[in-house]
Amino acid sequence: MNEVPLMPKATAVWLVENTSLSFKQIANFCNLHEVEVQGIADGDVARGIKAYNPILAGQLTREEIELSSNDKNRSLELNKKVIDISKKERKKIKYIPLSKRQDRPDATLWLIRNYIELQDSQISKLIGSTKNTVSLIRKKSYWNYNSLSAKDPVAINLCTQLDLQNAIEKANRKIEREKKKKEKNKKKNEKEQEEV
């Protein structure tokens, strides 16, 4: 069985305590051995594990439990909607080792020189720096500006080429939108002046 509920032992504890499902059904659903589920029922296994309600978690429905309770040969099926949500890639906070932290201002300088369309917020997100640091480097008022040497952030592994490319495309799209907006406002102003 590929799809396993979150916290399978705690889920098994809840199912043993709150349903009339067979040990085999619970074992198959939680990807445990049948003897282990029997040990949970006897109190030998999973002592101290707090029961985890799969209905509240959205992993099972009451109807699913009732259907399986009535038919001992039917196995429980995990709610697919939860699987889809949990498989979504979550945003991870990027940890940068101490040895690479000194490279961030250098990478910031490289991005400012090579991609002027990138905003401070985009650069800080790419490299894991602060907007204030990026702003100070852009204004050349960073405390250590004279000793900075521009380094490609992809080459020193602070961001991926794909992330950099996406940020550049996003910045270019924003510039294009602002340009169209200015042209539209300019035409609107000219039209208003002609009418007057």
Q: Mind listing the pLDDT tens digit of every residue in the chain (196 residues)?
A: 457 777 888 888 999 888 888 888 988 888 888 889 888 888 888 777 888 888 887 888 888 888 888 888 888 888 766 444 444 555 566 666 777 778 899 999 999 999 999 999 999 999 888 999 999 999 999 999 999 999 998 888 888 889 999 999 999 999 999 999 999 998 888 888 887 6
CB atoms within 10 A of CB 118: 20
* The pLDDT of residue 83: 46
Residue 194: the pLDDT is 80
pLDDT of residue 89: 53
Look up residue 146 and give its two tokens.
Answer: 């004279």
What is the domain partition of the chain in residue ranges? Answer: 8-87, 98-195
Q: Is the dihedral of CA 136, 141, 143, 144 positive or negative?
A: positive
Q: Please tell me the predicted confidence (pLDDT) of residue 82.
A: 46
Nearest to residue 179, comparing CAs of 119, 187, 122?
187
What's the distance, CA 110 to chain centroid? Answer: 28
The span from the CA of 36 to the CA of 43, in Å, is 10
Amino acid (1-letter code) at residue 81 = K
Separation in Å, CA 4 to CA 55, 59, 60, 66, 99? 14, 10, 12, 20, 40
Tokens 């003897």 correspond to 35
Whole-structure pTM value: 0.49
Cα(149)–Cα(44) distance, integer angstroms: 63
Place of tokens 């916290």: 7
